[in-house]
Structures are given as structure tokens and as C-alpha cells.
Amino acid sequence: MDDDEIIRTTFTEILKHEGYDVDVAEDGAQAIDKSNSKLFDLALVDMRLPDMLGTDLLDKMRKTTPKMAKIMVTATPTLRNAIAAVNRGADGYITKPVVAEDLLAVIREHLQKRDEAAKYSDQKVAEFVQTRARELQAKQSGAGHASSRSNPADQADRSKK
């Protein structure tokens, strides 16, 4: 998202040429609406939008689309802007004027990181499910043996003697 139509058009053409599906937003409100109705892999967010700061948009998008990679784009590269962007959810930070090769490299890098994180999360979920299944099986096996035993309260009383 960028308020400058020339930049939006340029980014769109570069990304489409590389095979990416592209959607654009002219301002923060439009970006929020689109991110609420559709899942996106990545967002390029301008630091200064007509209706809000890009950092404010990052906050709002982090709540609705936490796994989407968000790259801040700015014509005013300052340390303060970079820190604010990162602290508010930017995964990357690039400056205007943007060189097409640099833009594509940053996009590829962050999409790859997102994919690796998703793969790791999937592995962790699978490990959890397998572990939990073994725990439940063990509990069921133990429950079967427990029913043939005497009352646990009786066992506790006997152990005190």
C-alpha cells in the first residue's frame, strides 16, 4: 500500500512480472478492509499514508493477520522510523527510491522466513499431537488396569499401616 499511484503501479508491475498475485490499497483503511476479507502472504506498507501512519497500520494488521510478512517502505529513512517500524510489527524495512532487485530480494527473503516458520510450527503441532496421543493411550491402558485394582482409598489406608 502506498498513496503514490506511480509507486503502486511500479510495484504492481514488478511483482506481477515475477509471478506474484498483487492487490493494492491506496490508504490504510482500504488495506485494513482488504486484509480482513482476504489472506495475504506479504504487505508492502508506506510509512506515510493519507489517513494514518504506516506504523499505525502495522499495529492493526498485526492483530488481524499476524503471519503476514510486513515490509515498511519509506522515503524518510531515519533510525527512529526504522525502530518504530520494527517495534510495531514490520518484518523488513526498505527505502525509496526502491531498486527492483532489492525489493524482490527482500520479498523473497521474508516469504522464505515466513514459510520456514510455518513449517516449523506445523512440525511442532504434529509432535504435540503425537505426544498427546501417546499420553492418552497410556492413560487408557492405565485406566484399564486400575479398574481391576481395589479402591485407591483402601490402598492409601493400607499403606499407612
Tens digit of each residue's pLDDT (9 = 90 or more) over 23-47:
999 899 999 999 888 889 999 999 9
Query: Which residues fall within 8 angstroms of residue 55, CB to CB, at 6 or more apart?
Result: 47, 72, 84, 85, 88, 90
Domain span at residue 47 reads: 5-113
Strands (E), 41-156: 42-46, 69-74, 92-95
Give me the number of domains the chain comprises.
Answer: 1
In a domain? residue 35: yes
In a domain? residue 119: no
CA angle, corner 45, sides to 90 and 104, nearest 5? 85
What pTM was computed for the model? 0.69
Tens digit of each residue's pLDDT (9 = 90 or more) over 41-76:
999 999 999 999 999 999 888 877 878 899 999 998
